Structure 1
Amino acid sequence: MTPPPFVISIQSQVVFGHVGNSAALFPMQAAGLEVAAIPTVIFSNTPDYPTLRGRALPPDFFCDLLQGARERGLPERADFILTGYIGSLDVALMAADFVAEAKAINPRLRYVCDPVMGDAGPGLYVPETIADVMRDRLLPLADLATPNPFELSWLTGQKIASLADLEAAQARLRMAPGAHLIATGCALEDSPAGHIESVVLGPEGPSRHPVAHLPIALPGTGDLFCGLVVAGLARGLDLPRAVELAQRLTSRALSHARALGAGEVVLSEPDFRRALLMLAPLQGARCGRTAER
């Protein structure tokens, strides 16, 4: 039997709530992927609460986890590496070295960079030194990147108000030839009323994917979206279909959270879980093959 697609996911972890790996791990596993989760920080909860416990992983601890992943041959096995929130400069630099090393020894590996660094409301919420590593070290390695408009604007110095602005920003990113950019949560000048868009830009030209803009903003939404995109790609969907799957299921999770009055993304809604289980075939096909529908 063919082993399932394998993902190394390097991002935050919380005890309570759903952000980082605590948001992305479940949907990837429910879709039948095998995931090695490596935390960059471990917090008690998101910063939206009156107290916050925990900290970024000490550099020697994080380095030890990466070395353990090497000793188990995980870079050679992986179909995807996903990086998200990083809480210290040393960890950011080690993550960049690990991704570069993994891509060098595993040519079929696809690296997905979610440059979690800020948003329109709070602004930049990581130190500029970490954002610089994302721009200068991680994004040039990425096969796929998923910044929001604030992050894309900060990374490129380009305001984001139109498709032309997105294309100009893409040109300023130092991503590899053939890489794809998904600009998430875009409200452009010509976006449909009441909608936001994910805009995919790559060698094939842009594709736009509007979705109803829900009046709710919860931490972990982008982390969930990125994990769902990886799940779709690993299960054989092309990128536009993976983006639309991620939008649909992220909206479902947000709607369910709003109905419950929850302050966190909720992953327990039955149809949300059922859709993920339907992605996983009875006999797993590795990524790159088209999923049977």
Structure 2
Amino acid sequence: MTTILSIQSSVAYGHVGNSAAVFPLQRLGVEVWPVNTVHFSNHTGYGAWRGPLLAADDVREVITGIEEREAMPEIDAVLSGYQGGEEIGDVILDAVTRVKAANPAAIYACDPVMGNAKSGCFVHPAIPVLLRERVVPRADLITPNQFELGYLTETEPESLDDTLASVEKARDMGPSTVLVTSVLRPDRPEGTIEMLAVAGDHAWIVQTPQLPMKANGSGDVTAALFTAHLLESGDAGVALGRTVSSVFDLLQLTLDSGRRELQLVQAQAALAAPQMQFEVEQLN
């Protein structure tokens, strides 16, 4: 059984961070150990929220408690998302070091959350520097959107060739596998969006309709699913196809519901058994 240590934010209402990642992973049969960095009433996109931002030392204590159960060798991946500050970044990197010491085969999957094409960069200016200089070089897998890929590599990827070149710059930083979400190249068919995965000497791309919605937490679900499918299959192309299938169905169901929050529970069949309704094209 795959086991993932997921160090992310948490909300009571809705689905972002661990509140978006844990349930889909569990529906895939993955053992998840969530370590929360915040516990808010709801995600910050509402403009108002309540609840505590957990101190970095408290987060570290939770991870130390897991280590004291002699459980670190069971962990196959450390998964992290939005990093609210440099101190949390240090805690995550320390956890990666401890997990890999206990299980050298374990991977670190990092979603380098910084922003998106519409909103721009919405994190503290120190976070991109932290990610670029210290976090991404330690990662085995990163899952940026196209905007974040450019911000991370200090490039401006637009065309497919641009994006592939930016991916190689990212891989030169450390990670061997890169998943790029929200790829919006100028020459794509109108009303479509793509996702790109690169691993080893190969790259794969898949195209879906672009749904008219903004869904907080969808990136967290995507990173979690891709990590799990990659661990299970060992094949980034297979992981890409499964992930895109489930995420599209989740988003379509959410759009149809008319609700703002991801309809994770309602979409659980699509999460557990992807329909594989989109063709994955191998580019090389």
Match for residue 176 of structure 1? Answer: 174
Q: What secondary structure, in the 3-state scheme, does the structure 2 residue paired with 1:42 have?
A: coil
Question: What do residues 133-152 of structure 1 show as CA deviations (whole Å, max 9, x unaligned)?
Answer: 22222211212110011111
Pair 1:162–1:73, CA change in 2 (3 A): farther
Match for residue 144 of structure 2? Answer: 147
Q: 1:169-248 to 2 correspondence within 5 Å?
A: 169-173=166-170, 174-176=172-174, 179-236=176-233, 238-248=235-245
What's the C-alpha RMSD, in Å, of the aligned pairs?
A: 1.8
Structure scoring higher RCO (CA < 8 A, sep ≥ 6) equals: 1
- What's the CA shift for 1:112? 0.9
- In structure 2, give the amino acid aligned to 1:231: A
Distance in 1 (CA, whole Å) between partners of 2:273 and 2:162 is 37
Q: Which runs of 5+ in 2 are unaligned?
A: 275-284
Match for residue 12 of structure 1? Answer: 9
Contact 1:158 1:168 in 2 (8 A): no
Q: Which runs of 5+ in 1 are unaligned?
A: 280-293
Match for residue 23 of structure 1? Answer: 20
Question: What do residues 86-132 of structure 1 show as CA deviations (whole Å, max 9, x unaligned)?
Answer: 21221111211221332233211021111112112222222122222
- In structure 1, give the amino acid aligned to 2:253: H
Distance in 1 (CA, whole Å) between partners of 2:269 and 2:56 is 39
- What's the CA shift for 1:53? 1.2
Match for residue 281 of structure 2? Answer: none
- In structure 1, give the amino acid aligned to 2:77: F
- What's the CA shift for 1:165? 1.4
Match for residue 88 of structure 1? Answer: 85
Match for residue 33 of structure 2? Answer: 36
Bigger shift: 96-105 or 26-35?
Answer: 96-105
Match for residue 291 of structure 1? Answer: none
Question: What do residues 34-79 of structure 1 show as CA deviations (whole Å, max 9, x unaligned)?
Answer: 1000112221111222421124211221121121122123331111
Matched, 1:74 2:71: yes
How many residue pairs were aligned? 273
Distance in 1 (CA, whole Å) between partners of 2:259 and 2:71 is 36
Contact 1:25 1:35 in 2 (8 A): yes
TM-score by length of 1: 0.87
TM-score by length of 2: 0.90
Matched, 1:98 2:95: yes
Contact 1:147 1:182 in 2 (8 A): yes
From 121, 126, 130, the counterpart of 1:124: 121
